[in-house]
Amino acid sequence: MNVYDSARMADVLAPHGFAPVDAPDDADMVILNTCHIREKAAEKVYSELGRIRQIRERRAADGRKTVIAVAGCVAQAEGEEMRARAPFVDIVLGPQTYHRLPEMVARAARAGGVVATDFPVEAKFDELPEASAPQGPSAFLTVQEGCDKFCTFCVVPYTRGAEFSRPAAQIVAEAKKLVAQGSAEITLLGQNVNAYRGPAPDGGTWGLARLIRALAEIRGLARIRYTTSHPRDMDEALIEAHADVPALMPFLHLPVQSGSDRILTAMNRGHGAADYRALVESLRRARPDLALSSDFIVGFPGETEADFAATLALVRDVGYAQAYSFKYSPRPGTPASLAEDQVPDAVKTERLHRLQAELWDQQRRFNESKVGSVMPVLLDKPGRRPGQLLGRSPWLQAVHLDAPAHDMGRIVEARIGAATVSSLAGRALVREDAAA
Ligand code: 5AD
Ligand code: SF4
């Protein structure tokens, strides 16, 4: 989402004479877009700010000004505190105020520091200009922001605010524009994307499934994905969409966090491990080739060896194509950070290693299962060497292909010849092969 937000900040600044540059030394303004989800985020921002300050001083010696802005959830969480600790920062702006960036730049030039961390009543998306810069073959599109779930470990409900869904017509219009600009794949974004409930063109409300069906009608939009989902918001309509919308890719990021009911309750996730297993089963009934990804937290307060064993058991039962796993990191202001039974770091580290060994093994096996098969690959990046392009499989695997440069941006049929834990390799079929 920060990638998408950064692009929108560039869009909002473009009419005011700003354009992205490659090197910070050339920048009249530097925006650090930050994430607060896990520990040390604020520390990283302050050390990066130290480097940017040096650049500013170098530029000042040549008589050039540099505006420094910090955006994103660290800015939201730190607020005034950031200007107290780093007074050379001109603008501190939270994720709900990006549309006011040009006005802040003007205000900072006139009056010095600006801090904007409110949640304005006007909807940011109504104020932002239309997205203008093309995103390439694979694009992001935010459909929903914020979260009302209040998992006890998580800062998102505090930094991103309450759940908000963009009007469906606005999303469809943005998607059409992205496709017209050459995007063949769109990933719908939201902190809680499957909780999407947006005002619909017919005056009613659309859920995510209905929105996906509307987007699937856009000619040229070959692939639709969405992330990140909460198991509790995975409704029948969405499961059905996986069965019968061909553009909806057979890969789903569905975080479970833990396999222990006791821990899931303490996390306030609102479901148990059996509910999640049952959900995965119905999804796989709907789309037998569906591959799953998840997020896991190890060492949540009170997690015992038995709780952790339940997580490992769930991982083995479900079988993941890919997953992210983290040590629990106490976040200021969240209920879990106040729990007395914090797990020692050494225990967290040891459990993380065991979990990651299992997850990597599953990921490698999943990748190897594709060797010898033919699959469509969306080519969206230059390859490691000439004659090669990098793309994505339907299951979001990175695929290195021997393919001519003019295939960039296209979906080509490819035969997979090799797999590693992190990627596939193969060659694009020439049309005769493909027809055979
Ligand atoms: N500690 C560790 N991991 C966390 N996540 C969110 N908050 C924390 C935390 N305090 C992880 C969750 C979430 C992902 C985006 O980040 O697994 O799904
Ligand atoms: Fe955070 Fe996701 Fe829980 Fe919301 S549902 S509080 S974003 S982990």
Q: Could you list the beta-strand ranges (E) of 117-260.
A: 138-142, 144-145, 164-165, 185-189, 197-199, 205-207, 223-227, 251-253
Atom of ligand 2 nearest to the CA of 154: 1
Q: Give the C-alpha separation, 143 to 266, whole Å.
A: 29
Phi and psi (nearest 5°) for 426?
-170, -165
Q: Give the C-alpha separation, 398 to 375, whole Å.
A: 12
Q: Which of 270, 221, 281 is nearest to 245 (CA)?
A: 221
> Mind giving me the DSSP string for 73-128?
HHHHHHTHHHHHH-TT--EEE-TT-GGGHHHHHHHHHHHS-EEE----SS-HHHHS
pLDDT of 124: 77
pLDDT of 431: 63
Whether 230 and 194 have beta carbons less than 8 Å apart is answered as yes
Q: What is the pLDDT of residues 124-160, one digit of tens each?
A: 777 777 777 788 999 999 999 999 999 999 999 998 8
Residue nearest to atom 6 of ligand 1 (CA): 154
pLDDT of 432: 53
Q: In the structure, which protein residues have their CB atom closer than 6 angstroms to any atom of ligand 1?
A: 37-38, 153-154, 255, 257, 295, 297, 326, 328-329, 331
Q: What is the pLDDT of residues 238-271, one digit of tens each?
A: 999 999 999 999 999 999 999 999 999 999 999 9
Q: What is the pLDDT of residues 70-121, one digit of tens each?
A: 999 999 999 999 999 999 999 999 998 988 999 999 988 887 788 887 776 5
Handedness of CA 118, 122, 123, 125 (dihedral sign): negative
pLDDT of 132: 74
Side chain identity, residue 365: R
Q: What sections of 222-373 are H helices per DSSP?
A: 236-244, 261-266, 273-286, 305-318, 345-368
Both tokens of 232, joined, read 């509790």
Q: For residue 344, give the DSSP letter.
A: P
Please give the distance, rounded to the nearest whole angstrom, from the Cα atom of residue 2 to the centre of ligand 1: 16
Mutate to test the pocket of ligand 1, among 40, 193, 229, 297 (most ligand atoms within 8 A of CB): 297
- Per the model's pLDDT, the better-predicted residue between 159 and 353 turns out to be 353
Count of CA atoms in the C-beta half-sphere (13 A) of 81 = 9
Both tokens of 52, joined, read 């940017």
- Given a cut of 70, whether residue 2 has pLDDT beyond it is yes
Whether 399 and 391 have beta carbons less than 8 Å apart is answered as yes
What does the pLDDT average to over 180-201?
Answer: 96
What does the pLDDT average to over 397-406?
Answer: 94
What does the pLDDT average to over 233-241?
Answer: 97
Residue for token digits 């039974």?
341
Ligand closest to CA 331 = 1
pLDDT of 289: 97
Residue 380 φ/ψ region, left for φ over 0, alpha for ψ in the -120 to 50 degree band, beta for the rest: alpha
- Given a cut of 50, whether residue 436 has pLDDT beyond it is no
Q: Which of 67, 61, 59 is nearest to 32 (CA)?
A: 67
Handedness of CA 195, 198, 204, 210 (dihedral sign): negative
What does the pLDDT average to over 411-425?
Answer: 97
Whether 351 and 298 have beta carbons less than 8 Å apart is answered as yes
Start-to-end CA distance of the chain, whole Å, equals: 41
Side chain identity, residue 194: N
> Considering only 126-130, 218-222, 384-388, which range has the smallest mean pLDDT?
126-130
CA dist 174 to 119, 138, 179, 180, 400, Å? Answer: 24, 14, 9, 10, 30
pLDDT of 306: 98
Ligand closest to CA 300 = 1
- Percentage of the chain exceeding pLDDT 90: 84
Give the SS3 label for residue 358.
Answer: helix
CB atoms within 10 A of CB 51: 11
Helix (H) or strand (E) holding 33: strand 29-34
Q: What is the pLDDT of residues 51-67, one digit of tens each?
A: 999 999 999 999 999 99
- Given a cut of 60, whether residue 281 has pLDDT beyond it is yes
Q: Give the C-alpha separation, 216 to 247, whole Å.
A: 6
> Mind giving me the DSSP string for 115-148?
EE----SS-HHHHSPPP-S---SEEEEE-EE---
What does the pLDDT average to over 343-372?
Answer: 98
> Considering only 3-7, 26-30, 273-277, which range has the smallest mean pLDDT?
3-7
Q: Give the C-alpha separation, 113 to 88, whole Å.
A: 8
What does the pLDDT average to over 179-195?
Answer: 97
Mutate to test the pocket of ligand 2, among 36, 144, 150 (most ligand atoms within 8 A of CB): 150
Mutate to test the pocket of ligand 2, among 1, 35, 147, 193 (most ligand atoms within 8 A of CB): 147
Q: In the structure, which protein residues have their CB atom closer than 6 angstroms to any atom of ligand 2?
A: 147, 149-151, 154, 156-157, 191-192, 230
What does the pLDDT average to over 287-300?
Answer: 98
What does the pLDDT average to over 171-180?
Answer: 96
Please tell me the pTM assigned to this model: 0.92
What does the pLDDT average to over 203-216?
Answer: 97
pLDDT of 121: 56
Q: What's the chain's average pLDDT? A: 93
Give the SS3 label for residue 218.
Answer: coil
Please give the distance, rounded to the nearest whole angstrom, from the Cα atom of residue 78 to the centre of ligand 2: 20
CB-based burial of residue 201 (10 Å sphere; 0-12 exposed, 13-18 middle, 19+ buried)? Answer: exposed
Q: For residue 271, give the DSSP letter.
A: S
The C-alpha torsion from 428 through 429 and 434 to 436, rounded to 10°, is: -150
- Percentage of the chain exceeding pLDDT 70: 98
pLDDT of 435: 45
- If you count them, how many residues does the chain have? 436
What does the pLDDT average to over 413-428?
Answer: 97
